[in-house]
Amino acid sequence: MIPHSVAHRPTLVSSSLQARTRSGIVFDPFADTWRFRDEVKNISMRFDTLLISAELRAHVKCVFAWYLQNLSSTTAETYLTNFRHFLKALADLGCAPADDISVEALLTYRSSLSRNDMWRLGSVAVIIRKWHALEIPGIADGVVSFLSELRVPGNAKGVAVLTRNPYTGPLNDLEYETLLAKLHSNFSASRISLKAYSLVLLVAALGQRPSQYASLKVMDLTESRTKAGTKIFTLNVPRSKQRGQLHRDQFKVRVLNEELGELLAKHAAQVKQQFSALLPSPDEAPLFPSQTFGTQPQGFEYHLTSTAFTRSLKRAVNTLAIISIRTASQMNISTYRLRRTVGTRAAIEGLKAYVIAEMLDHSDTQSVSVYVQADPTMVKRIDRALAFHLAPLAQAFAGVLRRPSEPLPGDSDLPEIWSPQFGRDGERIGKCGELGFCKALAPIACYTCKSFQPWIDGPHDAILDYLLSERERLVSSADLRIASICDRTILAVSEVIQKCQSHKEIGQ
């Protein structure tokens, strides 16, 4: 048996023996491929393709069996990926399959790495140090001494955040607002399910890791009331990526706003009904269940994997068909990109590093310093030319353009929108397609509303001029974030002006 203790050298004695991961999953340590589902992660570790001798391969299995027994399966899988990179690099340089790990091999590997990839050597060094500590054969003389003197830079952290990568970095304000606006409008039009709607909103609100969302259960959502009768929704989010912990060992309590809490409660009620006949207690059902029911570990029945959760998020957002104003292509969304967005927006709001670390469930502030250092890179100046250039990409206008001379059924019941500040002699701006009472400030707020029906000959240019001048004033006298609040409205008004011009040109 492969022992948990490092006091004795692990040996593979009998092919009938089995080993267990730290979470209790049984695997065959003698097999050439270790493949299993551990909590919310599918693990696959293949050894027969490692470019080393058969004897050394057996020793490597002992090392990684220890990792599975004592650390997380994800950590073991990642280490094997890095170790495989080390062996492949040596083979590409013409080195023969090794019988042991030597100083020469490490020096050769180091010489093959670029400065940005040098962190890989550090990962291999961690594996070798543990290998030696376990007293498993395969490490040549002098290797440990060499590693003790080796100084390797760590993997660069937060590059996508610091560079504001338009594909993988945080969303800017316009992209974020467009995502939420499209999400709300599609849900109100029944073009997206409650499950997908609440899933995207939750990720955009909390910024946790995909494994944390995949580990959530219905019972993690709780509702209470204050003495005044106000509803309070809290979500017990399982911690992950914490040393020595499994996915549901510890939790962080997150308070949700009432709107999101109500949505999740409605979704959770549907899930409980779905699983009432499948589980002894439907409260144990996953909050976001898998649509395919395979073999899952005890306690994680019907749970999505972390990878499948991210796929669900991508599918939901892709149905919205959002175009990024930075790339002019469909917006790329992932769980980690929304996580970076939450951290960045928190930093822009002035929150300290330790607060952001708490929000994102980091154990220290090392990984969140990039959010504080990053330049917000919001658009510092928007003039008419830039507004007209960005407007078609932003798709901020969601209403329908109309002519006053072409009435529609029920028009007489719809309120007209006007303002003494814009236009001449009470010139009308358009109509509101809703009969209900609207709390929004007309006409500025109307341009991003799906119910707005602007007139083709309305005073939209005057409204755009006002918004641009007001933004310019705020840029010079206030925080840029305050000045950019109406940027999406500016683009919506610009889009209306462009559409009006096109209609006039073709005589429609």
Least confident interval from 39-53, 105-119, 360-374: 360-374
Instruction: Write the pLDDT tens digit of every residue in 291-320.
Output: 877 677 888 889 999 999 999 999 999 999
pLDDT in tens, 115-129: 888 899 999 999 999
Q: What is the mean pLDDT of the chain?
A: 87
List of residues 6+ apart from 425 with CB closer than 8 A: none
Q: Would you call 254 exposed, middle or buried from its count of C-beta atoms within 10 A (0-12, 13-18, 19+)?
A: middle
In sequence order, the β-bridge partners of residue 251 are: 238
Q: What pLDDT was estimated at residue 247?
A: 66
Is the separation of the CB atoms in 257 and 265 below 8 Å?
A: no
Residues 172/326, Cβ–Cβ less than 8 Å: yes
Task: List the one residue out of 223, 311, 305 whose CA is nearest residue 268.
Answer: 223
% of the chain beyond a pLDDT of 90? 54
| pLDDT band (50, 70, 90) for residue 245 | low
Q: Which residue has the tokens 């707020």?
A: 445
Residue 375 clears pLDDT 80, i.e. is over it: no
pLDDT bucket at 243, cuts 50 / 70 / 90: low
Whether 148 shows a pLDDT value over 80: the answer reads: yes
pLDDT at residue 3, as a whole number: 41
Given this model, what pLDDT does residue 228 score?
83
* CA angle (167, 172, 173) in 5-degree steps: 150
Q: What is the pLDDT of residue 507?
A: 63
With 90 as the cut, is the pLDDT of residue 150 above it?
A: no
The more confidently predicted of residues 118 and 507 is 118
Q: Is the pLDDT of residue 456 over 60?
A: yes
Q: What phi and psi values does residue 289 have, to the nearest 5 degrees?
A: -75, 160
Query: What is the average pLDDT across 89-99?
Result: 91
- Binning pLDDT at 50, 70 and 90, where does residue 45 land? very high
Q: What is the pLDDT of residue 435?
A: 62
250 token code pair: 């510890």
Nearest to 403 by CA among 505, 504, 506, 493: 504
What is the average per-residue pLDDT within 35-52? Answer: 93
Number of other CB atoms surrounding residue 227 within 10 Å: 5
**Token digits of residue 133:** 């500590």
Q: How far apart are CA 38 and CA 232, in angstroms?
A: 34
Q: How far apart are CA 173 and CA 488, in angstroms?
A: 9
Residue-by-residue DSSP string for 432-456: ES--S---S-TTGGGGG-TTEEEBT
pLDDT of the residue at 292: 76
Specify whether the CB–CB gap between 316 and 308 falls below 8 A: no
Residue 171's identity, in one-letter code, is: L
pLDDT level of residue 13 (50, 70, 90 thresholds) = very low
- Binning pLDDT at 50, 70 and 90, where does residue 14 land? very low
Mean pLDDT, to the nearest integer, of 174-186? 92
Q: Strand pairing partners for 417?
A: 430
Reported confidence tier of residue 10, pLDDT bands at 50, 70, 90: very low
Q: Which tops the pLDDT comparison, 46 or 292?
A: 46
pLDDT in tens, 415-432: 888 888 887 777 889 988
* Domains, in order of start, for the chain: 19-149 (no CATH), 159-373 (1.10.443.10), 384-506 (no CATH)
Q: Residue 7: its pLDDT value, please? A: 37
